[in-house]
Each structure stands twice: as C-alpha cells, then as structure tokens.
A = this chain, B = another copy of it.
Amino acid sequence: MQSDLYNIGEAAIASCISSKMIRRYEESGLIPKASRSLSDYRVYNGKNVNMLRFIKHARDLGFSVKQISSLLNLWTDQARSSSEVKSLATEHILLLDQKLKELNTMKSELTRLVSCCHGDERPDCPILDSLAQNEI
C-alpha cells in the first residue's frame, strides 16, 4: 500500500543521483528536508524522486545548481509564464556558447602547435617554444 516510499539508496538509484549528492542538495537547500523514519532514515515518495530526476536532467543539460533552484521554483509554480523558463534556458545557451568558443580556441591553437611539432626523439619542440614565448 505504501510502495511509493524510498530510502535514500533507492531514491539514488531511481533518480541517478548519488546518496551523497542527495544529502548535499538537501543540506544546501536545493531540495526540502526529507521526512524521517523512526530510525532517522530519510524517506522519499514518488514526488520527491520526480524532483530528483528533474534535477538530474537539468544537470545533464549543464544547468548550474543555482539555475536549477530557479527552474524548480518555476516548475512548482503553476502560475509561471513559459517565457520565464525560456529566458533562463536561453541565457544558459549563451553560456554554453561562450564555453564552446573558448574550448574551440584552445583546441585550434593547440592543434596548430601539435602539427608543427615533429614529435620524435629530438629535444627541440615548437610547443614548448611557444609556451615559453614572452609575447603571444
């Protein structure tokens, strides 16, 4: 009859978030404090696990914990406007774009250096030379 109840290990498996992180999310206030069993074990219900899954999906999309906190508020707020969510997501895409640009710059520069390096037993190396340059 109460098949809807999970302890933290079961909730971890069901949500793909480690017990460790579930406790941390609770401690940091991202999720509400779990109710406890007589022996002080955390007890979760299906709704709680859905929230954890929501968090997991958002983390997989690269949202920060802070952003997820906002998303959870919007999620549980039936009066939210979808534009609020959309702007949060759009902002996050801009951040992803920025990181992508940085990584691409690094990669192309490094690829150029690697292609200039003969990579044999000789000690002279354009990669180290470039890193040692005083000017870029």
| Chain A residues in the interface with B (C-beta under 8 A) | 50, 53-54, 57-58, 60-62, 71, 74-75, 78-83, 85-87, 89-90, 92-93, 96-97, 99-100, 103-104, 106-107, 109-111, 113-114, 117-125, 127-128, 130-134, 136
With A85-B125, A127-B86 already in contact, the answer to whether A109 and B50 are too (CB < 8 A) is no
Would you call A100 and B107 a contact (CB within 8 A)?
A: yes
Give CA–CA (A89, B108) in the complex, Å: 12
Would you call A131 and B96 a contact (CB within 8 A)?
A: no
For A131, the chain B residues whose CB sits under 8 A away are 54, 57-58, 61, 71, 75
Q: This chain: how many copies in the complex?
A: 2
Would you call A119 and B83 a contact (CB within 8 A)?
A: yes
For A107, the chain B residues whose CB sits under 8 A away are 93, 96-97, 100
For the complex, would chain A's binding face be called helix, strand, loop or mixed by DSSP majority? helix
For A71, the chain B residues whose CB sits under 8 A away are 128, 131
For A99, the chain B residues whose CB sits under 8 A away are 103
Would you call B53 and A106 a contact (CB within 8 A)?
A: no
For A134, the chain B residues whose CB sits under 8 A away are 50, 53
Would you call B113 and A104 a contact (CB within 8 A)?
A: no
Would you call B123 and A79 a contact (CB within 8 A)?
A: yes
Would you call A82 and B118 a contact (CB within 8 A)?
A: yes
Would you call A119 and B54 a contact (CB within 8 A)?
A: no
